[in-house]
Amino acid sequence: MHRCQPPDAVVWPQNVEQVSQLAALCYSQGVPIIPFGTGTGLEGGVCAVQGGVCINLTHMDRILKLNPEDFSVVVEPGVTRKALNTYLRDSGLWFPVDPGADASLCGMVATGASGTNAVRYGTMRDNVLNLEVVLPGGRLLHTAGLGRHFRKSAAGYNLTGLFVGSEGTLGLITAATLRLHPVPEATVAATCAFPSVQAAVDTTVHILQAAVPVARIEFLDEVMMDACNRHSQLNCPVAPTLFLEFHGSEQTLAEQIQRAEEIAGHNGASLFSWAKEAEERRRLWAARHSAWYAALALRPGCKGYSTDVCVPISRLPEILVQTKEDLKASGLTGTIVGHVGDGNFHCILLVDPEDTEEVRRVMAFGEQLGRRALALHGTCTGEHGIGLGKQQLLQEEVGAVGMETMRQLKAMLDPQGLMNPGKVL
Amino acid sequence: MHRCQPPDAVVWPQNVEQVSQLAALCYSQGVPIIPFGTGTGLEGGVCAVQGGVCINLTHMDRILKLNPEDFSVVVEPGVTRKALNTYLRDSGLWFPVDPGADASLCGMVATGASGTNAVRYGTMRDNVLNLEVVLPGGRLLHTAGLGRHFRKSAAGYNLTGLFVGSEGTLGLITAATLRLHPVPEATVAATCAFPSVQAAVDTTVHILQAAVPVARIEFLDEVMMDACNRHSQLNCPVAPTLFLEFHGSEQTLAEQIQRAEEIAGHNGASLFSWAKEAEERRRLWAARHSAWYAALALRPGCKGYSTDVCVPISRLPEILVQTKEDLKASGLTGTIVGHVGDGNFHCILLVDPEDTEEVRRVMAFGEQLGRRALALHGTCTGEHGIGLGKQQLLQEEVGAVGMETMRQLKAMLDPQGLMNPGKVL
């Protein structure tokens, strides 16, 4: 939905010294700086709205240091999450944050990414131990101190947390120390159809309350399920559906499965279908990850726009029902899919980009959805970020003092306003 | 170790409006403001080094809102962690962060507290969803927006994270929205003696690598174990020891126990002793929580000084062996106890406060321990904070650019330097 706005120049630095020199040069000349990873963000974070120099960090793609006993790894900004997990294959460890796209890990830091595994393993906010940041003027900051990779600290202000989710507006992330997790011994996935949205959400809350350590719990509305059936040759009932995944030992999995089935049964689930074999599981999650393409296939020739909000879990049924009514009233085609264990969901809208009136309706729908989330004590974005598209909603979300504090932070670190200008604030 | 430095006045506001008026009045008159919760911090965070007004928040002790389906609760600053867990008793939920003392929850936010359960449930940094903060001039900031309590967000800069661990130097925390967890169905604790520090740490790393979801894993050196035996009438072997606790269903506990025993056995553990009954478990953890008093009893009439550092887990054996040698070389009496699953440990030193030479040696020892942790890529404090005692170490930890960024943050939010002056920076 964000019009392509190219920069005046693109550079591909090979190392942090070059990034630092570039930042210093741009800053001294008043030239905007736009950091670039894989460009898979959804809120226009890499649009060069004021021109300037795009610093493409993909050539810096080394995995600098693996500390297996300490469950940590240091990566350069061009390393993607799939590349890291391939590298880790024989280590018994993995990096679980999975936003769907094979995004660069430092880009995921910048946007505060999360995705399907966040309910169990947390988001990027929970999985970054240290960052190397080139500040706008070119100076180098190690947010937790040079080379440090402890699990916790109470030493001074949390600078690492300040840069996670800052969307490239405070500095360029040139290395990240990430927290790794042990690969689960066994994995089982399942799908489960429900008579209503409420029943699917109640099942989610009850599974969490029962302390079943679910690794993924994804909701698909019946439109999304139908689209996935067609696009990925699944054969699931066309109904509000949960996709679940459990990680653990063989023995604990059996118990998790039994409990989840009991809870779903109490909530009226009609069919619980287990995928225990790797191939079956792969097919299921490939279908989930192809939800975007499945949605696009509903209106060939149209573009997709995925918006995201997050609310307290108890308010999910309310907002999901409202959103489906809003969709109907607006005459738009859209599907709902989301990380229901976090209260986070996406609405994928199909739009003809040539139809300016429809584009306007899609934008209005997105804004209305954001406001509905805010009215339910939620946030206008659970994981996509503010970028260009949600600046008005951010103001409504955090209020005047919150906005002023964020603006002070921006002015403090980027007094000339040259770091990825026009985003977030 | 921090000399008592009383304020000029103490006030007990009853509500956030009064806190705001007090902050505005103090700020306009150039009077230092010192927030006070339970005063259980260990690094002198409530000393009024420049006099001023102590704002004692203990009269604001209401639990404002419990959202059981959303796993969240809003508390005023006078609510302690034990009071909250008593309140939650029938809800099926609990707040797991446990620094030992019955500290106020907002004080725990301010110091970034953690403790024995952090290896499984995280520290305060992971368990705060929103904060109400009175800024130095009296204005009210809701770090995640007024009344919001979502599980995750990518909306703007992480203001919540900025105040967690800020030690009262950026504002007064007048309410916190905390993340709750389901009460485990069953709990088992255990003690296990090892032939060496290395064997105990290896066991810890292997348990974590095997993805056994240990809830607590605490290390006690043989001096600490001996002191606890005497003080709390335990009968454990005098050796490097792990205290463990597992949370889960009856069935998964059996498996966790079996795996932990196998791993400990492979690492030469001589005795694995299980405490399955509540009374037995209570006795064990009461002994662990009384470690401070057990240590004090080693030298009656002396004072204790507990310092804390945190290193990458793989470096724990090295620093523990070094620390024991340093203790011997310094002629000081001290015990070692800690949250080994996080790489975090405490050294409790016994000191005669009248003996200035000994006090000097204790301070020197603490500084040396901090430097040893820094040399091993660790932090000078895993959970106690910087306060008055570790400002030099903080500079060495985060470097010049890190310190300058922290000073900029302080100047931005507290331009007159009146919020808890003399701490952290």
Nearest to A221 by CA among A291, A154, A162: A291
Q: In this structure, are residues B320 and B221 in contact, taking their beta carbons and an 8 Å threshold?
A: yes
Residue A208 has pLDDT above 80, yes or no: yes
Nearest to A55 by CA among A81, A72, A75, A32: A32
Give the C-alpha separation, B80 to B58, whole Å.
Answer: 9
- DSSP character for A158? -
pLDDT in tens, chain B (425 residues): 677 799 999 999 999 999 999 999 999 999 999 999 999 999 999 999 999 999 999 999 999 999 999 999 999 999 999 999 999 999 999 999 999 999 999 999 999 999 999 999 999 999 999 999 999 999 999 999 999 999 999 999 999 999 999 999 999 999 999 999 999 999 999 999 999 999 999 999 999 989 999 999 999 999 999 999 999 999 999 999 999 999 999 889 999 999 999 999 999 997 788 888 888 888 999 999 899 999 999 999 999 999 999 999 999 999 999 999 999 999 999 999 999 999 999 999 999 999 999 999 999 999 999 999 999 999 999 999 999 989 999 999 999 999 999 999 999 999 999 999 999 99
Q: State residue A277's pLDDT score.
A: 84
Question: B143 and chain A: CB distance < 8 Å anywhere?
Answer: yes
Q: pLDDT-derived band of residue A251, with 50, 70 and 90 as boundaries?
A: confident
Question: B161 and chain A: CB distance < 8 Å anywhere?
Answer: yes
Q: Which residues of A touch B142 (CB under 8 A)?
A: 398-399, 401-402
Residue B166 has its nearest CB partner, among A123, A157, A377, at A157
Only one residue has tokens 């360029």, namely A172
pLDDT digits 0-9 by tens, A26-58: 999 999 999 999 999 999 999 999 999 999 999
Q: In this structure, are residues A16 and A135 in contact, taking their beta carbons and an 8 Å threshold?
A: no
B129: three-class secondary structure by DSSP: strand
How far away is chain B from the Cα of A291, in angstroms, using its nearest Cα? 22
Q: State residue A270's pLDDT score.
A: 77
Query: What is the average per-residue pLDDT within A294-310?
Result: 94
Please state which architecture CATH assigns to domain A9-182: 2-Layer Sandwich (3.30)
Query: What is the enclosing helix (H) or strand (E) of A118?
Result: helix A118-121
Residue B148 has its nearest CB partner, among A183, A379, A383, at A379
Residue B154 has its nearest CB partner, among A112, A183, A247, at A112
Q: State residue A275's pLDDT score.
A: 84
pTM above 0.80, yes or no: yes
Q: In this structure, are residues B109 and B162 in contact, taking their beta carbons and an 8 Å threshold?
A: no
Only one residue has tokens 């299921």, namely A284
Burial of B29 per CB tally in 10 Å (0-12, 13-18, 19+): exposed
DSSP string, B60-122: ---EEEEEGGGTEEEE-TT-BHHHHHHHTTTTTEE-----SS--BHHHHHHHT---TTHHHH-
pLDDT digits 0-9 by tens, A70-80: 999 999 999 99
Contact B154 A386 (CB under 8 A): yes
Q: Which residues of B touch A73 (CB under 8 A)?
A: none
Q: Which residues of B touch A390 (CB under 8 A)?
A: 155
Pairing of strands B72-75, A333-339: unpaired
CA-based torsion, A99, A363, A425, B413: positive or negative: negative
Residue A399 has its nearest CB partner, among B146, B150, B213, at B146
Give the C-alpha separation, B24 to B298, whole Å.
Answer: 48
Question: B379 and chain A: CB distance < 8 Å anywhere?
Answer: yes
pLDDT digits 0-9 by tens, A110-158: 999 999 999 999 999 999 999 999 999 999 999 999 999 999 999 999 9
Q: In this structure, are residues A213 and A247 in contact, taking their beta carbons and an 8 Å threshold?
A: yes
For chain B, what are the domain ranges?
9-182, 186-376
Contact B156 A398 (CB under 8 A): yes
Residue B384 has its nearest CB partner, among A154, A247, A390, at A154
Q: Which residues of A touch B156 (CB under 8 A)?
A: 165, 386, 394, 397-398, 402, 406, 424-425
Q: Which residues of A touch B405 (CB under 8 A)?
A: 141, 159, 413
Q: In this structure, are residues B88 and B137 in contact, taking their beta carbons and an 8 Å threshold?
A: no
Residue A255 has pLDDT above 80, yes or no: yes
Which residue of chain A is at minimal alpha-carbon distance from B157?
A166
Portion of chain A with pLDDT greater than 70, in percent: 100
Question: B148 and chain A: CB distance < 8 Å anywhere?
Answer: yes
- Which of 282-311 (A) contact B at CB < 8 A? 310-311
Nearest to B377 by CA among A67, A145, A66, A177: A145
Q: Which residues of B touch A165 (CB under 8 A)?
A: 154, 156-158
How far away is chain A from the Cα of B142, in angstroms, using its nearest Cα? 7
Contact B379 A122 (CB under 8 A): no
Q: State residue A271's pLDDT score.
A: 73
pLDDT digits 0-9 by tens, A319-378: 999 999 999 999 999 999 999 999 999 999 999 999 999 999 999 999 999 999 999 999
Q: State residue B278's pLDDT score.
A: 86
Report angle CA B229, B235, B239 to the nearest 5 degrees.
70
Query: What is the average per-residue pLDDT within A56-84?
Result: 97
Q: In this structure, are residues B353 and B280 in contact, taking their beta carbons and an 8 Å threshold?
A: no
Strand segments, DSSP code E, in A221-314 are: 241-248, 271-275, 303-310
Interface test with A, best of B114, B127, B134, B151 (most A CBs within 10 A): B151
Q: Which residues of B touch A140 (CB under 8 A)?
A: 401
Q: Which residues of A touch B389 (CB under 8 A)?
A: none
> What are residue B345's DSSP bridge partners?
B309, B338
Contact A156 B125 (CB under 8 A): no
Superfamily of domain A186-376: FAD-linked oxidases, C-terminal domain (3.40.462.10)
Give 3-state DSSP helix, strand, coil % of chain A, rounded to 5.
40, 25, 35
